[in-house]
Chains A and B, each alone.
Chain A
Amino acid sequence: MLTQTISPLAMASLQDLPGNELVRRFNDLFSRSQFEPAFDVACAEVMRYPALEYAAKRAALAVQKIEMRGFHPLYKQAIVHCFQALTIEHRHFMFAWLALMTFDPLHRPLMNLMDAEDENDFDRKIDWKTIRPCVMDPFFQLGIRKLMVADIPFELLLTRLRRFVLTAHKTGSILTADDLPFLCALSEYFYEHEYAAIETPSETDLISGISEKSDDISLAVLGCYRLLHPYPQAQKRALDKNLSGDIKTLLSFHVIDRNEEADIKKNIPALTTIDDAISKNVADMYEDNPYPRWRGFDLPPVLYPVPRSEILVAGCGTSKWVVQTAMTFPNVHITGIDLSRSSIAYGVRSARQVGAFNTYFAQGDILKLDQMDKQFDLIESSGVLHHMKDPDAGFKQVVGRLKPGGRMFIALYSELGRQSIVECRKLIAEKGFSITPEGMRQFRADIISLPDEDPLKQIAMRRDFFSLSECRDLVFHIQETRYTIEDLKNLLNRHNLTFLGFREQAKALQEKYISLYPDDPRMTNLDNWEKFEQAFPLTFANMYQFVCCRREEENTPSEGFAQIDACKFFSIGRTI
């Protein structure tokens, strides 16, 4: 196990090195899997060049590979700088952040509150004066704003803090305008998690008492419990020209972005008709809660000037994949379609902000794709077809949009990989939790209260558990089909498709496969995979993410796909 403890001396000598030398050393260490010293070098670079995106990218690469076991203020400072970077997924820093929060002497008073047995115990133990320095620490604030922290004890801590803040606000005199950075950060945390944590009836009462107040503190506190968009006073404040600082940031999420999405929604073209009953239901379900919410993401560090390929994303959702791919291949045209106008609007807004105008979005039903006549070099459909009543009908439509030699990136649920989820679904059915925010919160509260040994609690290891829309997709979906490898084989056969390999697999896993099946170097033998999954049932806990094409077209990829493939950006089958 890798552990990270810094030698201050080593850091001091690193900080004298010129930038190019730091980069050279980082690359050298990283390529030799020396991740701990590589992270030190990256932190030194970040400290020297706090605004350099590529320094933060290097730190983000290394931080995923290490386990932080000690505390050093330089790590804290470096990570604060990394939080300001715009082209990395801040979540990579989550474990390092949690560890530093735990080891940082400054945060001891706050972290000690995690031991509170229940609400009352918490109220007895909390002392605003001693925890205020903790919650005003930018490291803490940036962490809860940007990381989508997925950790039960932490969620409990913040939920109790939220209740404390609400009560304190009601009684007055404790919270002042100086506390706004903390209140806004707390509010952003709950906003990003879509208010997945449960609220008590007494809190609900208190909230109604502030729901018409228009001062910034009240707005920030209200934002810890409610999306502010529908509140007129929030709308008014958001449009205030002199708005600045944390409240401006907060209202830009709660109000400005939402307004823009509402505007966009009006102008999304319709590509197909939607009249299938399930499609309509699914559309409604995603209408309220676009899935998944995302903000920052790893922008590819490289650009590929591939000319003129056409990509279709069938069921694009909120379009993270669309935007990322569009930015990576600036000259490729990408069409995203989905049933949900809300999700599309979220994607359009995100694409606009980074200038990904090689994207085209339309509302459409996969079941009706034959109403369009365009064909594509690559079709991506991830986590979509298994939500259709008749996935085969969807599959047939998608295949129909493929150019000769085109490829498909498909992702489907695995029966074995989702065993723990199946158990949760049973629990939900038994207890009759409804697919409403309240039902989902209640379900989450039940899971959280389980003893740690309970197998059902494993679901809380998944990031998706921590926000409402993701949680809904994870366990509450009205329609889901799960597959076995046997089912996959049959599915591919029925549609005359050839399996070309699984995607996005860890190197270690591939090595394991190769050592077991040395005579299948391309890793495309599904009989082997069947045995492999039996032996390692969590291999596809995420999904079966695979590539396929029409039979007999394995060796004749379309021109457009061949160009994309040549960039080696997508890992297809074996990565060497």
Chain B
Amino acid sequence: MTYLNLSGQTPTQHMMDQDAHAKAEAGRLYDIAKGHIDREEYKTANPIIENILTLHPTHIGAMELKAISAYTFGDTETALYIAREIKKLQPLYPGVDILIGRILVKAEQYPEAVTTLEPALAKQPYDEGFSALSRAYFYLGQKPKAEESLRRAMAITPDKAEHIYMYLSYLYQVTETNDPHFARLHKLISESPTDMNSAYLHYALFKAFQDIGDYDRAFESLQVGAHAKRKAIHHQSGHLERWMDDIRTYFSADFFENQHIQGYDTEQPVFILGMPRSGTTLLEQILHAHPDISGIGEERRLSELITEFSSLPEYDGKPYPLRRSRSGAYLPPQAIGREYMHFMNKTGNSAKRIVSKSIAHRLWAGMSSLIFPGARYIHIHRDPMDMCLSCFATNFTGAAQGYTYDLAELGTHYKTHTRLIAHWNDVLPGRILNVRYEDIVKDTETQARRILGFLNLPWDDRCLEFYKAEKSVSTASVDQVRQPIYDRSVGRWKKYEKHLAPLIEALKE
């Protein structure tokens, strides 16, 4: 008996034809998806990529697009898996090792990234590959190698603003007024770059002028750079501050008096609260040096869990302010605690105390205190002029800390922040220790002893030699934590005093 379908084909024939159709269709879809990825339209591209992979599960091009898209969304796990699958299928596929290396850098797996990227780039030089390698070396504390890698990136694409910025800001010290970098920067600036590139170039210029002690011109460049950055990230002023006020009013004293939420029972978590550039990294490093403490740096896991999954009913007529996600997923506080603790223990080696220092912790304190009734908080305070200037002088990654690119706004933000912290101190009595950056710098031991007492841990001398600890650090203050404490940054704002009128004004009550 033969099977005949309506078109008169035998089943195998039919399947072969289907296969050919599928291949052709996959090819057509690939061109469309590629177009979307090139235009950075990832959301549109993703379903098309999935379609291709359904038709043709080992379509290398589509797999690569999927890896790039996952990488861009921060899903380094998927990106890495797919890139490695490509390598298994076609070990010689050009660029696959570099792709893997770049993903590893994004996943903060620096040593593996280096061993992947070095041989791959030797075979096939590629500027983005070198800059990723430079980043890996930098976070591993190997500055000369970081510098060399970046130079090689710049040799391939000399005009890439981001690379010049990284080079001048972190790796190279200008010593004289006729350094050729000045001319380069001025030339590139005159070629009407995009806002983002203009920001990179002006921040680079700021650093160069500061290196040679020309503070007026340095500040001038900084202002132009900050303005460009603010435009580039489409910052909306006031949003964050309104949100902070909403958080403060929802988590009222009355709220805490009337709730009995069951949290996750542990004393491990320690959250550092502070503004950017207030010394949170220094504080974390001092604590991390203690054998019973593990610092897990600036992680986003708690932020993700809270904004994606947390919810509480309205309280006193006010809606729960922390949830940001429109997706329906929901987890009660105790379950969030369980997931987060699993992450913390994995990253922090199940230490007795695990310190997390995300800038966002100040927003979550109300909720995290419910999730972890045994968590402790350390608030670090720093002279507002020094801190705000340091914020203003920093080109933060991406759109983060958008309020720092305008002096007046920064002043307002600082006041909102102070109100919020004062509020947490009121409603979470006994759970927050307040320390001052300047005190830590002046007398580290006294402050460290005070903090360890608060954490209920014994004294350990290693806290004073924290800069010897072997560990990669990935924050804007990466450069300083490799050095012993220095007080150069205390009072630095005085050099720029005459330019800071808008900040001084905003800080007034």
Contacts and interface: CB of A to CB of B under 8 A. Distances in A.
B338 interface: yes
Contacts of A54: 329
Nearest to B330: A303
Contact of A353 (B70, B77, B78, B260): B260
B104 interface: no
A87 B78 contact: no
Given A18-B77, A352-B259, 14 more contacts: A17-B81, A19-B77, A21-B78, A51-B342, A85-B335, A299-B330, A301-B328, A302-B329, A302-B330, A303-B311, A303-B328, A330-B311, A352-B261, A357-B315
A327 B330 contact: yes
Nearest to A20: B78
Interface residues of A, number: 32
A86 interface: yes
A355 B81 contact: no
Interface in A312-334: 326-327, 330-331
A18 B313 contact: no
B314 A331 contact: yes
A392 interface: no
Interface string A331-373: 1000000000000000000001111111000000000000000
A331 B317 CA distance: 10
21 contacts: A16-B81, A18-B75, A50-B342, A53-B331, A53-B335, A53-B338, A86-B332, A86-B335, A87-B332, A301-B330, A327-B332, A330-B314, A352-B259, A354-B262, A354-B332, A354-B333, A355-B259, A355-B332, A355-B370, A357-B315, A358-B314
Contacts of B258: 357
Contacts of B328: 301-304
Contacts of A17: 81
A228 to B, nearest CB: 21
A52 B260 contact: no
User: Which one of A52, A301, A355 has the greatest number of beta carbons of chain B within 10 Å?
Assistant: A355
Interface in B298-343: 311-315, 319-320, 328-335, 338-339, 341-343
Contacts of A52: 339
Contacts of B260: 352-353
B338 A355 contact: no
A350 to B, nearest CB: 10
Contacts of A420: none
A498 interface: no
User: Which 8 residue pairs of A and B lie closest in terms of their CB atoms, listed nearest first?
Assistant: A302-B328, A51-B342, A358-B313, A353-B262, A352-B260, A18-B78, A18-B81, A86-B335
Interface in A50-93: 50-54, 84-87
A547 B82 CA distance: 50
Nearest to A88: B335
A283 B312 CA distance: 32
Interface in A26-64: 50-54
Interface of B: 70, 75, 77-78, 80-82, 258-262, 311-315, 319-320, 328-335, 338-339, 341-343, 370
A133 interface: no
Contact of B339 (A53, A304, A358): A53
A300 interface: yes
B99 to A, nearest CB: 15
Contacts of B75: 18, 20
A355 B311 CA distance: 9
B318 to A, nearest CB: 11
A330 B78 contact: no
Nearest to B262: A353
Contact of A330 (B320, B329, B334): B320
B36 to A, nearest CB: 19
Nearest to B336: A53
A50 B328 CA distance: 22
Contacts of B319: 331
Contacts of A358: 313-314
A498 to B, nearest CB: 31
A189 to B, nearest CB: 22
A373 B319 CA distance: 27
Given A52-B339, A331-B319, A301 B259 contact: no
Nearest to B263: A353
Interface in A288-321: 299-304
Contacts of B370: 355
B338 A84 contact: yes
Contacts of A19: 77-78
